Structure 1
Amino acid sequence: MMLHGFRSSKQDFTFGSWKVTAAKNHIMKSKDIERLSEELNMPSLPEMLFGDNVLRIQHTDRYGIEFNAIDALKRVNNMEDTVKVACAQEWQDTRSDSEHTKEVLRPFDWTFTTDYRGTLFGDQLHIKVTNTEERIDIEKLKAREHIMFFEEVLLFEDELHDHGVSMISVKIRVMPSSFFLLQRFFLRVDGVLIRINDTRLYYEDGRDYMLREFSTRENTIAELKNIPAAFYTNPNEIAQHLTLKVTECEKLELPVMQLESSVN
């Protein structure tokens, strides 16, 4: 589990026409969580929900993309229990005498798996999303370039009733010629499976688009029996051993006015 300090912070970093904002705040209060739970029609929400945390990339023309916990939760399946654990039936049986059982235990994805890829925003101008064959050049990202700004923001985390962990965080690094963002959803259900949903966002200075890549990697624990168990708790280590199930690449085309305004 990550350690959480109680100091709220908000950092802004401006580079060229862009501003990155990283806001970190307290865990959401229980009354706000109850209200949100009703709003999202989900029986429960993650134990540690940072509803006011955000990582935002905004252009001077007031459009951009941000990553926040509530929009991430909106992408959770609130109608279907997608992962069964060995003790689920047992756990349900112990509560079967409760009159609220059906209501409380209606199926929903208690692992909080989300395929969230960020929230686009804009006043008059909007980013246009199209599919592309172009890929983020990972080799270029490995080049040793000065990092002008780095920040990581946790959106939510849950220990799944001591059956593992479900968490999503987003980090960004800004270099003189580009920025790179990685949002990672990491799920480990002990004895059952490990799943990673990654969203990568890359922008190179002077281009009129960003590249966004979404991927899902997943394996059952049985399939990972030859991998050291110590890796199971380390998303960076285990990611390299998981099977790629889904990959989608998109071009986020920036509004033309940006190019006009930079010429004048």
Structure 2
Amino acid sequence: MMSHGFKSSKKDFTFGPWTVTASKNHIMKSKDIERLGEELNMPSLPEMLFGDNVLRIQHLDGYGIEFNAIDALKRVNNMEDYVKVAWAQEWLESRADSDVSKEVVRPFDWTYTTDYRGTLIGESLQIKVTKTTERINMEKLKAREHIMFFEEILLFEDELHDHGVSMISVKIRVMPTSFFLLLRFFLRVDGVLIRINDTRLYYENGSDHMLREFTTRESRMSELKNLPVALYTDPNEIAQYLTLKLTECEKLELPVSQPQTDLPETIH
């Protein structure tokens, strides 16, 4: 699946007090995957796992947010098989001709569904997350603004034993006045369902906060059967047809930097 000419790459882009770092690395080696599986208490991990891929947005003062595969996997349910529980009939029918349903493995969510929304970073200063009713102004984002930096990074992908796809990727675009990021988890279990978990992150220059919106959209395949099959494989196209199940909006409040003042040395 990987091209032989693959080279690891690391790009940094600085705008104002912020730096975006986009690191793309090789697929994780199987011995590292095994060790991680034990750590996360999961019987198997995605076949294409980019454990060293990361997209990070960091302020000069050290705080920020990053997106990486391992933290995304930590949000996967390692105790129960979501699809088998929620969609038992479709699940069994879709697997009638395969051995998967006969395998007795410890139950875990083999679809790798994750509600990961990013990892806050920072030592002394950290972003504070609060609930909000404020929404990202999507109309504003449609305005044609010069894109100074764009990057897309895949965190993991799995073909679910040829029964569909589960993948999560993150992309960012930086404009002169703002940046916008989309972290998307896309799941298609053939014959059963399609689900998209999106995390959108928006920041306007000079603002004291970022806005983060998390949505879950999901529909059974039976509800989508009037659509052209080609749409099933295209997250951008199918998203608008899926039922919105959840929206959560948060304000990521930026810490106020303490100005460095030269204090007179204390005399002991």
Q: How does 1:27-106 map to 2 (within 5 A)?
A: 27-84=27-84, 85-86=91-92, 87=95, 91=99, 95=103, 101=104, 105-106=105-106
Measure the CA separation in 2 of the matches of 1:239 and 1:3: 29
1:127 pairs with 2:127: yes
Q: How does 1:1-264 map to 2 (within 5 A)?
A: 6-84=6-84, 85-86=91-92, 87=95, 91=99, 95=103, 101=104, 105-257=105-257
Measure the CA separation in 1 of the matches of 2:100 and 2:174: 48
Measure the CA separation in 1 of the matches of 2:54 and 2:69: 8
Deviation at 1:193, TM superposition (A): 0.2
Deviation at 1:225, TM superposition (A): 1.1
Q: Report the TM-score, using the length of structure 1 for normalisation.
A: 0.92
Measure the CA separation in 2 of the matches of 1:186 and 1:139: 24
- Aligned residues: CA RMSD: 1.8
Measure the CA separation in 1 of the matches of 2:101 and 2:141: 52
Helix, strand or coil at the partner of 2:144: coil
| Equivalent AA in structure 1 for residue 187 of structure 2 | L
Deviation at 1:88, TM superposition (A): 7.0
Which runs of no fewer than 5 residues in structure 1 stay unpaired? 96-100
Measure the CA separation in 1 of the matches of 2:251 and 2:209: 6
Measure the CA separation in 1 of the matches of 2:5 and 2:165: 20
Deviation at 1:207, TM superposition (A): 0.5
Measure the CA separation in 1 of the matches of 2:216 and 2:164: 18
Helix, strand or coil at the partner of 2:99: helix
Deviation at 1:92, TM superposition (A): 5.2
Helix, strand or coil at the partner of 1:247: strand
Measure the CA separation in 2 of the matches of 1:141 and 1:18: 20
Helix, strand or coil at the partner of 2:121: strand
Deviation at 1:257, TM superposition (A): 1.1
Measure the CA separation in 2 of the matches of 1:186 and 1:93: 23
Change (3 A) 1:206 1:154: same
Measure the CA separation in 2 of the matches of 1:119 and 1:179: 17
Measure the CA separation in 2 of the matches of 1:234 and 1:126: 36
- Higher CA-based Rg: 2
| Equivalent AA in structure 2 for residue 170 of structure 1 | V
Measure the CA separation in 2 of the matches of 1:251 and 1:170: 20
Change (3 A) 1:189 1:17: same
Measure the CA separation in 1 of the matches of 2:123 and 2:26: 29
Helix, strand or coil at the partner of 1:83: helix
Measure the CA separation in 2 of the matches of 1:223 and 1:31: 41
Deviation at 1:91, TM superposition (A): 2.1
**1:98 maps to what in 2?**
none
Helix, strand or coil at the partner of 1:182: strand
| Equivalent AA in structure 2 for residue 153 of structure 1 | I
Q: Quote the sequence identity (%).
A: 80
1:208-237 CA-to-partner distances (Å, cap 9, x unmatched) read 000000000000000111111110000000
Deviation at 1:256, TM superposition (A): 1.1
Measure the CA separation in 2 of the matches of 1:90 and 1:178: 49
User: What is the total number of aligned residue pairs between the two structures?
Assistant: 252
